[in-house]
Amino acid sequence: MSEVEGAVEVPEGSPQSIWFNEKARRGGFASGAALVSSLDLRKYRLDQIYRAATKELARDLDGVTTLPKDLRAKLSERGFAFDSVTPTVVQRSNDKQTTKGLFRLADGSEVEAVLMEHHGGRSTVCISSQAGCAYACRFCATGQGGFTRNLDATEIFDQARYFARELARRDKKITNIVFMGMGEPFANYDAVMDAVRLLHDPKGFGLGHRHITISTVGLVPQIDKFASEGIQVNLAISLHAPNDELRGRLMPVNRKYPIAELMATCQRYMKATHRKIFFEYVMLDGQNDSDACATELARLMRGPLYHVNLIPYNSTGAELSGSSDAKVRAFQKKLEEHGAVATVRVPMGRDIAAACGQLKAEKNAS
């Protein structure tokens, strides 16, 4: 925006400029700079608007009373809006710990996000990075529905803003964000990294990098790129099977990036960052839950930076079903016998179809 004469200095690539550029474009301006010049905005006005959106979590311009009325009116006349996602269905689980939202985007696409309020005060929000997904994992409801489009950074960010606002009403805050909703974050790499900048900005939303986790289907070039970002954002890899034969059947992406290549990439990541990787492993009855699988998986986990996260399966009505609790525990025990570190994810929100893509699938079916 700095190229506008006499206008404001908002460094290109800064969270504030990412935010303004996207909101301005969606409002019909050519860029953030065009917005600034057309309304002759001063720097402190931009700061007020950005602060209202990211710190005060204002829903819309009307709520921002620090701005003069005529400026608010001009901005909204031009289609400038704070929220790029509109909740269409919001469901709360019986135990009140899980809230799931289905959000409509401007073009009518829909994505889901889920808030999980854990005992002990942690509140995790799971957000989507794409409408649909191109990776077609066999066990995943989103994958079965196909790909629609990439989200932009503020469409991703606004899912977090929605739940932050909900929590604020109860004097609570988001403590963690996971990119485990719809879509493959690393197939929309730039927008996801911009969303991370918005989530992290200490002058804005202010969530620490260590409280953010990106989960990927295992896209090798992007894992390498992510390793070189020099940020403390956590990485999770959807492994789900310990050998190519089985992984290839469950996850078509394995044909492109087979396990040996993926694990070599993980080693490079660990060497570069000294950070742990969480390997997600969804427990599928009779598919990947045998003792032999546990032994094979343990062999891939080569030290203290490897952490297995066993995920009880949320059935999506397809041909697959989840392993029994006893089987999950036995699998965890076997992994530990072989020296691997494994935890079991506590399932939440099963009564509201809280697994990836399930709410949308259900709504469309009914």
List the catalytic residue out of 126, 137, 266, 356. 356
Nearest-approach distance from CB 189 to ligand SAH, in angstroms: 12
Backbone angles phi, psi at 344, to 5 degrees: -105, 125
Q: Which is nearer to ligand SAH, 53 or 341 (CB)?
A: 341
List the catalytic residue out of 22, 112, 155, 184. 112
Is 82 in contact with 53 (CB distance < 8 Å)? Answer: yes
Q: Which is nearer to ligand SAH, 84 or 314 (CB)?
A: 314
Nearest-approach distance from CB 55 to ligand SAH, in angstroms: 28
Is 234 in contact with 274 (CB distance < 8 Å)? Answer: no
Cβ neighbours of residue 25 under 8 Å, at least 6 residues apart? 31
Is 214 in contact with 235 (CB distance < 8 Å)? Answer: yes
Q: Which is nearer to ligand SAH, 49 or 266 (CB)?
A: 266
Of 108, 168, 93, 113, the closest CA to residue 346 belongs to: 93
Q: Which is nearer to ligand SAH, 217 or 270 (CB)?
A: 217
CA gap 221, 186 in Å, rounded: 9
Q: For residues 101-127, b (16+ Cβ closer than 10 Å) or e, as one string?
A: bbbebeeebbbbbbbbbeeeeebbbbb
Nearest-approach distance from CB 46 to ligand SAH, in angstroms: 34
Kindly state the helix (H) or strand (E) to which residue 190 belongs, with its residue range: helix 189-200
CA end-to-end span of the chain, whole Å?
Answer: 47
Going by DSSP bridges, is the β-strand pair 130-132/123-126 parallel, antiparallel, or unpaired? unpaired
117 counts as catalytic: no
Is 128 in contact with 151 (CB distance < 8 Å)? Answer: yes
112 counts as catalytic: yes
Nearest-approach distance from CB 282 to ligand SAH, in angstroms: 5
Q: Would you mind telling me the total number of residues written for the chain in this entry?
A: 366
- Would you tell me which residues interact with ligand SAH (CB under 6 A)? 137, 139-140, 180, 184, 215-217, 238, 280, 282, 311, 313-314, 316, 355-356
Nearest-approach distance from CB 284 to ligand SAH, in angstroms: 9
Q: Which is nearer to ligand SAH, 36 or 294 (CB)?
A: 294
Of 105, 97, 88, the closest CA to residue 124 belongs to: 97
Nearest-approach distance from CB 123 to ligand SAH, in angstroms: 18
Q: Which is nearer to ligand SAH, 46 or 355 (CB)?
A: 355
Query: Active-site residues: which are they?
Result: 112, 356
